[in-house]
Structure 1
Amino acid sequence: MRVLVLSDIHANLPALEAVLADAGTWDALWFLGDLVGYGPDPVTCIDRIQALAAVALAGNHDWGVLGRIPLRTFNATARWVLEWTRNQLPASLWAYLERLPPQAEAEGFTLVHGSPRAPIWEYILDPYTAWENFAAMSARVGLFGHTHVAIAYHIPRPEEARLLIVEPVYNEPLSLQEGRWLLNPGSVGQPRDGDPRAAYAILDLETMTWTFRRVPYPVRETQERMRRLGFPPFLIERLAYGE
């Protein structure tokens, strides 16, 4: 079974389309949250994921649109887009966002947006936070998003207090056969690692491998649509730099 793993689309339709075209054939799509926010195409992106995803989670921006997280907790530019997004969504798509869970279990994997112990909001940005979240997770392998940075954390032997940070090597399968893992595919719609290309991953359940992937997309197309809609300039410019 070949699983396409996506996170943090953030209403960036050209990036999503580039990923879907690049991924080839797959048997299931797992989405780790944040369909909306930052980007100009929330309706079409929600439609696509609703039609394609076997598993889809809510992220903090999805909950922000719904009012489950107060908008004051977001910075000013993010808040502007969330308020704009609220006025774009028809009732059917609003209802779809409301149904998305903050976490799920699939094929023995734990799936979250933020972290196993705080699925919506906590960022796993360092080994200490990763280590604590292994303790909060019963599954051997967990998938998360939220940080917009592709990364893997690995405990080779659960009986040893040793954690490895595994930087992504793109297009080379990473074996998950041994030990415990926390894996982040990076962001489809707004990478923040200095690389503007859309990020995603392929999980092969037969070989138990994870492959980090990157694909370029027409960034200017997204930027031009944002300009026409009057989006904050900072959000437009950052897409070109992957920040």
Structure 2
Amino acid sequence: MKLGILSDIHSNVYALQAVVSELELHEIDKLIILGDTFGYYPWAHETYEALHSYLPNAICIKGNHDQLVIQSSPPDPVPSYWYAAKLNEKELREKSPEAIDWLGTLPFESAVTLNGSVCRLAHGTPADPENGRYYPDDMNIWPWFPKPGTMLLLGHTHYPVVRNIKNGGKIINPGSVGQPRDGNPDAAWGILDTETRQFEFKRTNYNYQKVMATLREINWDKRAIASLGKSTGGALEI
């Protein structure tokens, strides 16, 4: 089984549309979406529409930005991206109210067995599924590391990771479709073959400079715009 692994789309429908076009070329059997479908950027309805045909057969969890979209009160202190989350909510309630219902059903973590392969999913980490972070340079051996034969799929950091654990487990983060932070602005995602347990990173080019120009025209958050172009060093809070 070939799984398309996506995370952290963040309502960047232009990056998502480019990835969806590639998905069709690779004959993907099922999508796994690791959270933060929404947030940061203004195209929430369009993002949901681009995913809509895949969702009945997809395995999805929510991320911290998705939670902000559906919760009524802001965190304390209020993050800079609360405004974007609430604009996303307004648009979804007006144009795609079923998306709000869908988000409300999603957990921050899940576990599935696909074609004999055990996959554990968390937006953050198993220790903190909503906000935990596991970066590529983290060489610690954490208690939550995957058990032998298990693949742990993570999102949230916007940094691609594949780490093979000595016990036979594997950690995968596909990076971010909508806002990569590893120095490459192309949309990041990947394909997981459940038979071979091999993960293939994919980078999909889209016209991010045009997207940045469009955002400037509507006076969008400057930090969110800048993050699309440089995508290094984690320009935004997560």
Structures share fold, TM-score greater than 0.5? yes
Q: Which residue is equivalent to 1:39?
A: 41
Decide which of 131, 144, 148 is 1:133's aligned counterpart: 144
C-alpha distance 230-142 of structure 1, shift in aligned 2 (>3 A): same
Letter in 2 for 1:145: G
- The 2-side partners of 1:138 and 1:32 are apart by 22
Q: Report the equivalent of 2:175.
A: 186
Contact 2:3 2:191 in 1 (8 A): yes
SS at 2:162 equivalent:
strand
Deviation at 1:74, TM superposition (A): 5.4
1:95–1:101: structure 2 CA closer, same or farther, 3 Å change rule?
Answer: same
Q: Distance in 1 between matches of 2:3 and 2:227?
A: 30
Letter in 1 for 2:134: I
RMSD over aligned Cα atoms:
2.0
How does 1:28-177 map onto structure 2 within 5 Å?
28-53=30-55, 54-67=58-71, 70-73=74-77, 75-76=79-80, 78-90=81-93, 91-106=97-112, 107=114, 108-125=118-135, 126-128=138-140, 131-134=142-145, 140-156=150-166, 158=167
CA 1:33 to 1:229, structure 2 compared with 1: closer, same or farther past 3 Å?
A: same
Q: In the alignment, which of 190, 196, 217 is matched to residue 228 of structure 1?
A: 217
Aligned residues: 219
Q: Distance in 2 between matches of 1:147 and 1:132?
A: 19
- SS of 2:91's equivalent? coil
Distance 1:73 1:184, change over 3 A: farther
**How far apart, in 2, do the equivalents of 1:68 and 1:115 lie?**
25
Which consecutive unaligned segments of at least 5 residues does structure 1 have?
A: 159-178
**Unaligned regions of 5+ residues in structure 2, if any?**
233-238
Q: Secondary structure at the match of 1:62?
A: helix
Normalising by the residue count of structure 2, what TM-score does the alignment of the two structures yield? 0.84
Instruction: Give the 3 Å change call, closer, same or farther, for CA 13–32 of structure 1 in structure 2.
Output: same
Cα offset, 1:232, TM superposition: 1.2
CA contact (8 A) 2:10 2:41 kept: yes
Q: 1:74 to 1:124 in 2, by over 3 A?
A: farther
- Provide the C-alpha distance between the structure 2 equivalents of 1:153 and 1:74, rounded to a whole number of angstroms: 34
Q: 1:71 offset after TM fit, Å? A: 3.5
| 1:127-152 CA distance string (max 9 Å, x none) | 32x623216x6862110000000012
Q: Which residue of 2 aligns with 1:17?
A: 17
State the partner residue of 1:165.
none
Cα 1:46–1:153 shift into 2, 3 Å: same
Quick one: percent identity of the two aligned structures?
A: 32
Deviation at 1:118?
1.6
C-alpha distance in 2 between matches for 1:74 and 1:139: 40
Amino acid in structure 2 at the alignment position of 1:151: V
